[in-house]
Structure formats: C-alpha cells, structure tokens
Structure 1
C-alpha cells in the first residue's frame, strides 16, 4: 500500500490513479485540480484532500463532462470541493464506495449521481446544482446519511426513474430546492427516516409510482405546496412525522394510493387541510394522527 501525493509527486490526480494498485492512497494537497476517473480495475483506492474549500476539483472533466467518475469498486473520496462542471459533479457507477465530507456545487446537472449498489454517502453538501443535489436513478441498497442539499434547481434528493430500490435516506437536510426536498419516483422499498425538509418550492416529500416506501419521523415544514404528497403508489407507511405550516395540504393522498398506512403523524397549521384523502379512505388506514382538520372529516384524533 503506497501513498501518492498530488501535485508534488504527480502533477494530476489522474496520473496518480493510473499508476496505483488496490489499497493505495492518494493525497491531494490544497489547490485547484482537474477532474478524474477511477477506472475499472483500480479498486479500493483512498483519495482524500485537505478539506472543503481547500482542495478544489474544478478543471478539465474526469470523463465526458462530469467532474469525478467512479467506475471501480471500494473507492473512498474524502475532503474536497467539486464545482463548475457541465454535467454531474460526481458520478458513481460502481459499488461499495464511500463519499464523505465533499461539497459538490454549481454543476450543470446533479451534484452527486449514484448508479451503483451498497454505497455510503455521508456528511456531504450539494448546492446550486442545475439538476438534483443527490440523484439515485438506479442504484440499490445505498445509505445516504447526514447530508445537506440546498438551493438546487431540481430536487434536493431524487430516487428512482430507472429502478432504484431498497435505499436508506437518514438524517439529511433538504432546504429551498426548486422542486421537492425528497422525491421518490419509480423506486420501491426505500426508507426515509428522521430527515428535515424545509421551504422547498414543491412538496417536502413526494412519492409517486412507488411501492413499500416508509416515511418515518421526518420534520416537514414551510414547503410551498404539500408537506407529503403521494400518488400512484401502494403499501406506503407514513408514520410519526411532524408536518407543519406547508402552503397546501400537510399530507395529500391521491385516489391512486392504495393499501397504505398513515398513522401517528402530528400535522398542524397547513394552509388547506392537514390531511386530504382525495378519493376518501378507500383501502388505506388512518390511525392516531393528531391534526386540526381533514378531508374527508374524521381522519384526525
């Protein structure tokens, strides 16, 4: 296992990757550097900078128009800023990687895009990206933990659209994004636990075309439309959330939602109904929700 240092030993990060073997580490000193690709076969590399705002990846893209591309497994990225690329800041196409303490900002598409499985994304910041802050189009069993996604031009966090399943989104912040704070779209068996979604331009949490999603103990306030909006989905569990002061309904359940459970939520001070079930109760269960009004009446305790 060898430590390689950029730029004193290697002029670019890509040069250091190209000569590295599994288990090697690459230290990027303070400064501005080109993007890079961790290529297939370069597994288990540790690439770390001097911290957000000190080590900045902002030059020539690593592959295509993306800043950093991971095509190898078990890579660790830690401690730098990625900014100003015309596509994604970081694109992950492999498995079992760790992304930690990275800021991805001002990119032309997503801040971070995950297409692989079993990745851990922890303590990162995504902001001012033209797409979503963090996007998981197709990856599975990923853990998204303690990140901040603010003021992106699409969603704070987007799961699905190409078959993402079984992802865990825990203790994250979504604030002032141009669409939803958290959007689950064509993605099954995901868990949203103890997240905060504030002041987003659409819903705090939006679930569509997805089954077996659990939304538990989240704090959802001051969004410009609904707190939680659900449509075209089945077997959802919406449990023990705090949902307040959203500009439309606190919880909006379209008549295309079936066999779902809405229970023990604290819903108060929303501009329209605290809980609105558009098609009536139907096959859904409402139990123990503390709220002030509902449509139809009787969904509050």
Structure 2
C-alpha cells in the first residue's frame, strides 16, 4: 500500500488517484483543491478535517459534482466540499458505487444535493449538509446506513429516503425549507433516534404507498407542518408502518396540522407508545376514524376522534 500526498507529491487529487492502484491511500493536506472522481477500488482518500481540507473550484472529472465515488470500497474522510454550482445541478458528494464509507465530511452551498447516495450498502457517519439547493441527504437506493449526521437549512428536505431497507439512526434534520425526514414510495426503512426540529414542513413524512417502515424513538419538535404524517393519495396508501415511542411536541402553525396525522385510507399501521403534547390543533388525528390501524398506549392531551390517548 502506498500513500500519495497532495499537494506535495501531486498537485491535485485527481492526479494522485490516477497514479494510485487499488488499496492505496490519498492524503490531502490543508488547503483548497478541485473536485475529483474516485474511479479505482479500495482507495482511502482523507484530509486534515472539516474546514481545513476544502474541496471547491473545478468539479469532478466528467461531471458537475464536487466529489464522485464511482468505485467500490472507497473510504472518504475529513474534509469540506462546498460551492459546486455548475448549471445549478451540482451535488457536493455523489456516490454511485457500493460498500463505501464516508466519515466526517461537510457538504455545503452546493446548487443541488449535499450528498446523493446511490449504489448499495454505503455507510455515512458524522457528516454535515447545510445550505444546499435541494436535499441535504438523498438516499436513492437500498441497504444504506446513515448515522450521527446533521442536515440543516437546505432548500428542500433534510433527509430524503427514496430507497428500501435503509437505516437512518441518530441524525438531526433542522430548519430545512420543507420536510425534515421523508420516506418515499419505499419499504422496510428504519428511522431510529433522530431529531426533526424547526423544519418548514412536516417533521417526518411517509409518502403514499410506503409500507413496513419503522419510525421509532425519534424527537419531532417545532416543525411548521405535522409532526409525523402518513399520507394517502388516490389509490395509494401508507400501509403496515410502525410509529412507536416517538416524542412529538409543538408542531403545526394552523388548524390543518396535527402532531401525528394518519390520513383517511391508511391501512394496518401501528401507532403506539408515542408522547405527543402541545401540537396545533390536535396531538393525534386519525382522519376518517381508526379503520384498520392500531392505536395503543399513546400519551397525549387530545385526539380526533377521542380515545387515541391514554
């Protein structure tokens, strides 16, 4: 294994990658450098830390994004990616491959997403996305795990989960322009121990046709929309999701909102052991009645219909 150092040995990161072989490391010293494409497997690319090693300027080879990971088993660690705005469609970090690890990376002020995660089986830990044009984190595909990340003041959702079998654990989505955490038309995702705070839309939203997702032990507070929403649209419904042991407080700004809103037509969902308080206008609302959904052990001040609180 060889360590290639930028800029003392190579003037830019891409040149170091081009000279590397699988299993090598690229060390980026403090300073500002152009974007790059990791196109060889099993490379470790590491900087001196967030705010010290900065990736800005020219985008990655062959595209408009700051960093592109197109080879498997890459490790990225310790830098800031910022200000990529080519054609107003630039991600800070785009991952198109499998089994990669991203640690201690900040992505900010990019025109599109902070992090777009494709491929499969990627792990994202202690990363930050802020002031990006659309989503902070977009998990497009399957079997990713994102832990201890922060997504704030982005132009759309904090976290958009549009793939299946993802684990989203102990993250924070705050002050984003729309939703804190959104699950699309997807299955078997888990949101555990997250915080969704002061977003302009819903705290956590499950799209129509989402199913078998687990929303457990999250803190949802001071969002302008509903705290947690299970959506229905035409013939598409939220089905067999579990909403369990969440704290839902102070959400909503008008009489169209609720702490937990289960739209009419949602089927076979379980809403249990949640603690909801001071939401506008109601803590838990089951539109159209309980139906086939189960409500059990929820601590709240009021519900619609009555009887959903203990």
The bucket for the TM-score relative to the shorter chain is: over 0.9
- 1:263 aligns with 272
- Residue by residue over 1:226-264, the C-alpha shift from the partner in whole angstroms, topping out at 9 and shown as x without a partner, is 000111210000000000010130000001311110000
Could you tell me which residue of structure 1 aligns to residue 158 of structure 2? 156
> 1:255 and 1:279 mapped to 2: Cα distance?
5
Aligned partner of 2:262 among 250, 253, 267:
253
1:181 Cα deviation from its structure 2 partner: 0.5
Per-residue deviation, 1:64: 1.3
> Which of residues 284, 288, 294 is equivalent to 1:275?
284
Q: Please state whether the residue corresponding to 2:282 is helix, strand or coil.
A: coil
What is the TM-score normalised by the length of structure 1? 0.97
Q: Deviations over 1:271-294 (max 9, x none)?
A: 111001112101100000001111
Unaligned runs of 5+ in 1: none
Query: How far, CA to CA, are the matches of 2:103 and 2:288 in structure 1?
Result: 44
Find the residue that maps to 1:250 and give its secondary structure: strand
In the other structure, the counterpart of 2:22 is: 22
SS class of match (1:220):
strand
Show the 5 A alignment for 1:209-248: 209-231=209-231, 232-247=237-252, 248=257
1:47 alignment partner in structure 2:
45
CA separation in 2, counterparts of 1:119 and 1:113? 11
Q: 1:298 is matched with which residue?
A: 307
1:108 and 2:111 correspond: yes
**What is the 5 A alignment of 1:7-156?**
7-39=7-39, 42-62=40-60, 63-86=62-85, 87-137=90-140, 139-156=141-158
| Aligned residue number for residue 169 of structure 2 | 170
The alpha-carbon deviation at position 59 of structure 1 amounts to: 1.3
Q: CA deviation at 1:107?
A: 0.2
Following superposition, the deviation at residue 19 of structure 1 comes to: 1.3
| Separation in 2, partners of 1:65, 1:233 | 36
Q: Can you list the C-alpha shifts for 1:75-126, whole angstroms capped at 9, x where unaligned? A: 0000000001121000000001001101100000000000111110000110
Aligned-pair RMSD on alpha carbons? 0.7
CA distance in structure 2 between the aligned counterparts of 1:233 and 1:239, rounded to whole angstroms: 16
Q: CA deviation at 1:186?
A: 1.2
Query: 1:3-47 deviations in whole A, cap 9, x for unaligned?
Result: 0000110011000111111110000011110000012xx111000
Structure 1 CA distance for aligned equivalents of residues 216 and 101 of structure 2: 25
Query: For residues 256 and 33 of structure 1, what CA distance do their matches in structure 2 show?
Result: 52
Partners of 1:205 and 1:72 lie apart in 2 by 33
**Structure 2 residue ranges without an equivalent (≥5):** 232-236
TM-score, normalisation: structure 2:
0.94
* 1:14 alignment partner, SS class: helix
